Amino acid sequence: MDYNFLENSTDFFKDTNEYFDLRRKFKSIYVWIDMLSPLITIISFFLYGVYDVFSLMSLGKAILTFLQWLRYRHLSSQISKWKETVLKYGGPQIATNDPEYHIYIYADGMQRLHDKVFKCCRKN
């Protein structure tokens, strides 16, 4: 078993909460419009030499949103690894009726696995 994977993740529920919030955010079409609108300004500037100051100010917001999207993709990949790991070692131990909250089951499974592995190692 790869214990580094378990050791590097210290708070599975914190990461899950962050992922859950970001997933809700990126379901909205308005976020994608906020991310893409500064591109129109940049293209207009290079094609016509015209720019709108307010659109340029939104470029900072678009960059921050894009960084959040990258974090969302990273967490999505991480949770996918959690799912594989939990299923590989006999989990999950709990269930939910709402599929939207199913990612919390894998966080619980990883936390249980983490506690079991490192509790065992601390005794030795």
pLDDT in tens, the chain (124 residues): 555 666 666 689 999 999 999 999 999 888 888 888 777 777 877 888 776 676 667 778 888 899 999 999 999 999 999 999 898 888 887 888 988 899 999 999 988 888 887 776 655 4
pLDDT at 60: 80
Reply yes or no: is the peptide bond before residue 92 cis, omega within 30 of 0. yes
C-alpha span between 28 and 68 (Å, rounded): 14
Say if CB 79 and CB 16 are below 8 A apart: yes
Q: Can you give the pLDDT at residue 120?
A: 63
The whole-number pLDDT of residue 121 equals: 60
Read off the tokens for 29.
Answer: 């079409």
Specify the pLDDT at position 124.
47
- The Cα 98–Cα 105 span in angstroms is 11
Count other Cβ atoms within 10 Å, centred on residue 25: 14
SS3 call for 14:
helix
